[in-house]
Amino acid sequence: ELLREKMKVIINAKKLTERQSAHKYLKWMLEFPDYYGNNLDALYDCLTDMRHLTLIIVNSKDAEGYFAKVLKVFEDACSCVLL
């Protein structure tokens, strides 16, 4: 089996405070497919397909609103989330 290097992505939590803009940002940053559904279920599905992903979350102390829901999905779907 091939060993794959983990993909590391830095996510700015301040960009995740509003639902619509959060999903647009995540689609761009994580290179999700065009059919990405722009909702938390679609986020979970896409993240679980990315087995070698490390998310590095910056500005999490300053983020509010929708970010809490997104963070929960990150923690449920990803094996490595760094705050």
Per-residue model confidence as pLDDT tens digits over 17-46: 999 999 999 999 999 999 999 999 999 999
* pLDDT exceeds cutoff 60 at 13: yes
* Beta-carbon count within 10 A of 45 CB: 15
**pLDDT at residue 5, as a whole number:** 61
pLDDT tens by residue, 66-77: 999 999 999 999
Helical (H) or strand (E) element with 22: helix 19-29
Summary mean pLDDT of the chain: 92
Measured distance CA(64)–CA(57) in Å, rounded: 14
Asked whether the predicted pLDDT for residue 4 surpasses 70, the reply is no
- Reply yes or no on whether the pLDDT at 51 is more than 90: no
> Which has the closest alpha carbon to 30: 3, 57, 69, 62?
57
pTM assigned to the model: 0.90
| Contact between residue 5 and residue 52 where contact means Cβ atoms under 8 Å apart | yes
Q: What is the largest CA-CA distance in the chain?
A: 42
